[in-house]
């Protein structure tokens, strides 16, 4: 909030004039909102071990953010959300298809990994259908099912070797 303050000033010539100044109150001392308030950094490690830090928009899935930054995760086929947790005691069924393929497998560790929504039964099913049991870990997720939160700033995303998906 900006407050306009008026002061009377006595000039050397003897005349009185007014001077206006704006005072910023404490509520907006940080300044106006910025796009940077909606962006966090994710560390992506590809199958060769190369590390890359990418900016990620809060509210978008890891798959969408990787696609925006040129990180290849393979094809994704996703229906609507299966369910949404509305409170500690109520989970609303949304009747979406959920993930329909498991090509976009990732492993998430570090900052904010625990803030990701729990795996749905469809996500667990898709991972099991496309990946061997020894390739699935507790940190395994589908990139289309993990939405970035502010707490995920600095989180590490491991991308395992891709499944063959380009056979004609």
pLDDT of residue 77: 75
User: How far is the C-alpha of 37 from the C-alpha of 6, rounded, in Å?
Assistant: 34
- Give residue 81's pLDDT: 77
The pLDDT score that the predictor gives to residue 18 is 58
Report the predicted TM-score, pTM, of the whole model to 2 decimal places.
0.74
Q: How far is Cα 105 from Cα 98, in angstroms, rounded to an integer?
A: 15
Contact 120, 157 (CB under 8 A): no
Q: What is the mean pLDDT of the chain?
A: 83
pLDDT at 63: 94
**93-140 pLDDT, tens per residue?**
888 888 888 889 999 999 999 999 888 888 999 999 999 999 999 999
- In whole angstroms, how far apart are CA 34 and each of 37, 128, 148? 5, 41, 18
Residues of the chain with pLDDT under 70: 1-30, 165-168
Tell me the C-alpha distance between 19 and 6, whole Å.
6
């Amino acid at each position: 909030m900006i407050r306009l303050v008026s002061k009377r000033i006595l000039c050397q010539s003897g005349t009185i004039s007014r001077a206006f100044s704006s005072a910023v109150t404490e509520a907006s001392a940080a300044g106006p909102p910025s796009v940077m308030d909606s962006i966090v950094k994710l560390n992506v490690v590809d199958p060769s071990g190369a590390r890359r830090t990418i900016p990620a928009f809060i509210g978008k899935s890891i798959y969408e953010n990787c696609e925006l930054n040129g990180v290849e995760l393979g094809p994704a086929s996703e229906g609507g959300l299966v369910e949404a947790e509305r409170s500690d005691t109520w989970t609303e069924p949304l009747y979406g298809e959920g993930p329909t393929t498991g090509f976009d497998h990732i492993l998430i560790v570090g900052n904010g990994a625990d803030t990701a929504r729990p795996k749905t039964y469809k996500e667990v099913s898709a991972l099991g259908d496309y990946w061997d049991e020894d390739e699935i870990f507790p940190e395994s997720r589908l990139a289309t099912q993990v939405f970035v939160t502010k707490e995920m700033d600095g989180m590490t995303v491991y991308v395992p070797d891709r499944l063959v998906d380009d056979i004609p």
